[in-house]
């Protein structure tokens, strides 16, 4: 058994590397998931063979903790920037005054967030953000979830301990998916992949980071006494050890070769799957790097050449005001079509009223449009010299452009909202579109247009109406025959099998995205428990802060929303978490409330353990509960209540004993206690 566990770990590490680092997967996702599941099952059955570096831990536990600020072993300096060939020429002059026959390495300048990784004996020990350059945040637990960061190195020629630096990025595909999800749940969008990558690294819950699709390129082996003569040799060794080193990295033997590289990358970067904002040029030989040394802020042996944010000038023809499913109003600029960074731009986002006022935009203005790291172009300024004499400032609308209701702007919000949620057509249609979406009820045959048709024909004005539709109703609509009507009705009926977590997401509660819905479903187990929870009880859930808790309470305080839940329930929609088949009966018939935090186990992990052993999870302490599983920082009120009601209180050791697991996994040594690292690196 132990042998199989080791073999599975090796196989999964190998295929992770193929997939994340080499982009050349050898097995399909289903086979990979099968191996992963086999390992998870074996590890669950044998916690004594747990290993913090096991590929299963990449998915992240759900422990919450604060980030620790730690000092960097070497300060993280930045690079000096150049924006023109001329400035770059000055860099070459400076280098070549001191160094003969300079050879350079030219690399992509990744537009993400810098990370410092420490490896000891081939294992990832610590990952720290740049912070202020001297101290950064210890984000090791989150970085461990990134597939392209090796937890164990391959080969045997790596130093016993070393620091390596690189960039954590969010590829455009992950970025688009994340923003789409955030839009669906009414959350603020990330402005660009760089912010999204940085935000994802600072999550309290590593499972959230794990789901964000981050990637990591390494570009710098740190140390004064490296076993290589050149930067390029280090990069090649890094690649051998399992790190992702960009294929675009090249040796340049002359200035001209660097200029050619820049031209090539400037073209190519529009086709790359992640954001780059320039090129980094480094002196290759370590001996020459040492000769050149550092200024207070940056190395004198390297420089960044930054691409200019691409800009175009065009005319602002008008502004549309779009109404989203939450009623939020988004102004969108209509532009005279203009060529920008390889695409024709016709529209640009204006975010909100404040931005329009700050730019003092007027119809007919010539505006500057930019596409920086951002995907959606934005207006960055106005050419005032070209402004028509008779122009007047643009007024933000006061009524909803769709239903005429006066708009409101809640305190503290940047956006205006149409409050007529129950009758404003784009809000109704938007809610239904969200409800049937792939990650929600997955009613595939119902497209946006069909939903709009159903709504305008008076057949649906609420998601619950979908379950009352007959094939005959639908077949009467234009362009929809008997066959598609039958498919739609069958798909709607099938959606009653969709699990509770997705139903919760489908309801469209503001700020409740996919991940939050999963946490809420696992924590409360049923819609009834959720609906009757107070804001404080809600905030005890993983990922749920005050703002989300309040939004949930408000949602269920609304009679219409409660009525909708009842109609959906009557239609057979799942409002309870289905428990998995238990694998043992050691807790059969017993109910548990989990409270506080646990060093070794995440909450959801504990809940799963209870269910697997035939027990039941309950959200709140009552006389019917058998055990209160008490962790750290459990509220005193909860303890008092349990004592008063005679509920038995057990700690994690007592619980594990009850399970019959016998032994907890060994605690990995925290970094602070590891004194070896304080010494010299190599």
Residues in contact with ligand IVH by the rule CB under 6 A:
77-79, 107-110, 114, 130, 167, 219-220, 280, 299, 302, 304
Pick from 326, 370, 262, 312: which is nearest to 513 by CA?
326
CA dist 490 and 655 (Å) reads 45
| Residue showing the smallest CB distance to ligand IVH in the complex | 114
Sheet holding 135-138, edge to edge: 68-71, 135-138, 123-129, 113-120, 161-169, 215-222
Q: What torsion, rounded to 10 degrees, do the Cα atoms 384, 390, 391, 395 define?
A: 150
CA dist 376 and 584 (Å) reads 53
Q: Are 524 and 501 in contact (CB under 8 A)?
A: no
SS3 content of the chain, % helix, strand, coil (to 5): 40, 20, 40
Pick from 548, 542, 486, 499: which is nearest to 519 by CA?
542
Q: How far is the CB of 322 from ligand IVH (least distance, A)?
A: 36
Residue bearing tokens 């020629």: 157
Residue 311: in which H helix or E strand, if any? strand 310-323
Complex with ligand IVH: residue 167 or 537, whichever CB lies closer: 167
Q: How far is the CB of 340 from ligand IVH (least distance, A)?
A: 24
Q: Report the DSSP beta bridge partners of residue 597.
A: 632
CA dist 172 and 272 (Å) reads 9
Complex with ligand IVH: residue 62 or 167, whichever CB lies closer: 167
Complex with ligand IVH: residue 304 or 517, whichever CB lies closer: 304
Which CA distances in Å does 326 have to 151, 186, 343, 375, 415?
A: 42, 7, 30, 23, 11
Q: What is the secondary structure of 20-53 as a DSSP string?
A: IISS--SS-HHHHHHHHHHHHHHHHH-GGG--TT
Q: How far is the CB of 162 from ligand IVH (least distance, A)?
A: 15
Q: How far is the CB of 484 from ligand IVH (least distance, A)?
A: 51
Complex with ligand IVH: residue 5 or 235, whichever CB lies closer: 235
Q: How far is the CB of 75 from ligand IVH (least distance, A)?
A: 9
Q: What is the secondary structure of 366-382 as a DSSP string?
A: EEEEEESS-SS-EEEEE
Complex with ligand IVH: residue 79 or 506, whichever CB lies closer: 79
Q: How far is the CB of 108 from ligand IVH (least distance, A)?
A: 6
Q: Are 234 and 245 in contact (CB under 8 A)?
A: no
Q: Which residues are catalytic?
A: 109
Residue 473: in which H helix or E strand, if any? helix 471-475
Complex with ligand IVH: residue 130 or 144, whichever CB lies closer: 130
Complex with ligand IVH: residue 80 or 380, whichever CB lies closer: 80
Q: How far is the CB of 618 from ligand IVH (least distance, A)?
A: 47
Q: How far is the CB of 328 from ligand IVH (least distance, A)?
A: 34
Which CA distances in Å does 332 have to 318, 348, 597?
A: 9, 6, 45
Complex with ligand IVH: residue 220 or 627, whichever CB lies closer: 220
């Amino acid at each position: 058994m132990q042998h199989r566990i080791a073999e599975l770990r090796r196989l999964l590490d190998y295929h992770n590397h193929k997939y994340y680092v080499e982009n050349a997967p050898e097995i399909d996702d289903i086979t990979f998931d099968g191996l992963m599941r086999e390992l998870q099952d074996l590890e669950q059955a044998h916690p004594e063979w747990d290993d913090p570096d096991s590929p299963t831990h990449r998915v992240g536990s759900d422990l919450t903790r604060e980030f620790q600020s730690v000092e960097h072993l070497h300060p993280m300096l930045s690079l000096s920037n150049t924006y023109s060939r001329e400035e770059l020429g000055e860099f070459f002059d400076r280098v070549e005054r001191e160094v003969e026959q300079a050879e350079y390495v030219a690399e992509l300048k990744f537009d993400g967030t810098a990370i410092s990784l420490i490896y000891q004996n081939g294992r990832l020990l610590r990952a720290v953000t740049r912070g202020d350059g001297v101290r950064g945040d210890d984000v090791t637990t989150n970085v461990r979830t990134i597939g392209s960061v090796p937890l164990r190195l391959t080969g045997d020629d790596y130093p016993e301990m070393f620091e390596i630096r690189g960039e954590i990025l969010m590829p455009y595909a992950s970025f688009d998916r994340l923003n789409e999800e955030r839009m669906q749940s009414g959350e603020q969008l990330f402005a660009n992949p760089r912010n999204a990558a940085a935000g994802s690294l600072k999550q309290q819950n590593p499972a959230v980071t794990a789901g964000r699709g981050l990637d990591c390129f390494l570009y710098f082996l740190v140390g004064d006494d490296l076993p290589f003569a050149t930067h390029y040799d280090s990069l090649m060794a890094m690649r051998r050890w399992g790190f992702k080193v960009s294929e675009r990295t090249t040796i340049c033997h002359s200035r001209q070769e660097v200029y050619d590289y820049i031209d090539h990358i400037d073209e190519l970067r529009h086709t790359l799957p992640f954001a780059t904002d320039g090129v980094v040029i480094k002196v290759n030989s370590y001996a020459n790097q040492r000769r050149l040394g550092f200024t207070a802020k940056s190395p004198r042996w390297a420089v960044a050449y930054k691409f200019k944010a691409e800009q175009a000038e065009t005319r602002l023809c008008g502004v549309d005001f779009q109404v989203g499913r939450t009623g939020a109003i988004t102004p969108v600029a209509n532009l005279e079509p203009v060529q920008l960074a390889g695409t024709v731009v016709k529209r640009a986002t204006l975010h909100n009223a404040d931005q329009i006022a700050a730019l003092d935009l007027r119809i007919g203005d010539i505006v500057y449009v930019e596409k920086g790291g951002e995907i959606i172009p934005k207006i960055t300024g106005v050419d005032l010299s070209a402004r028509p004499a008779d122009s007047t400032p643009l007024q933000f609308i006061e009524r909803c452009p769709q239903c005429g209701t006066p708009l409101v702007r809640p305190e503290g919000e940047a956006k205006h909202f149409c409050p007529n949620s129950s009758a404003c057509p784009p809000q109704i249609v938007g809610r239904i579109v969200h409800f049937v979406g792939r990650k929600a009820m997955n009613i595939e045959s119902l497209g946006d247009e069909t939903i709009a048709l159903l709504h305008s024909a008076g057949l649906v004005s609420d998601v619950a109406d979908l379950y009352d539709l007959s094939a005959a109703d639908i077949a009467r609509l234009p362009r929809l025959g008997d066959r598609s009507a039958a498919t739609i009705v069958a798909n709607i009926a099938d959606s009653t099998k969709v699990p509770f977590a997705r139903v919760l997401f489908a309801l469209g509660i503001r700020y409740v995205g996919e991940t939050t819905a999963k946490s809420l479903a696992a924590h409360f187990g049923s819609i009834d428990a959720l609906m009757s929870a107070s804001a404080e009880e809600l905030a005890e859930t993983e990922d749920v802060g005050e703002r989300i808790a309040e939004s949930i309470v408000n949602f269920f305080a609304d009679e219409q929303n409660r009525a909708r839940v009842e109609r959906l329930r009557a239609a057979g929609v799942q409002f309870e978490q289905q428990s998995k088949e238990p694998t043992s009966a050691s807790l059969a018939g017993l109910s548990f409330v989990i409270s506080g935090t646990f060093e070794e186990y995440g909450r959801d992990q504990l809940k799963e353990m209870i269910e697997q052993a035939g027990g039941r999870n309950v959200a709140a302490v009552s006389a019917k509960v058998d055990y209160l599983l008490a962790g750290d920082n459990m509220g005193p009120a909860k303890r008092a209540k349990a004592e008063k009601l005679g509920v038995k209180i057990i700690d994690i050791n007592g619980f594990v004993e009850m399970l019959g697991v016998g032994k907890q996994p060994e605690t990995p040594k925290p970094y602070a206690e590891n004194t070896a690292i304080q010494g010299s690196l190599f």
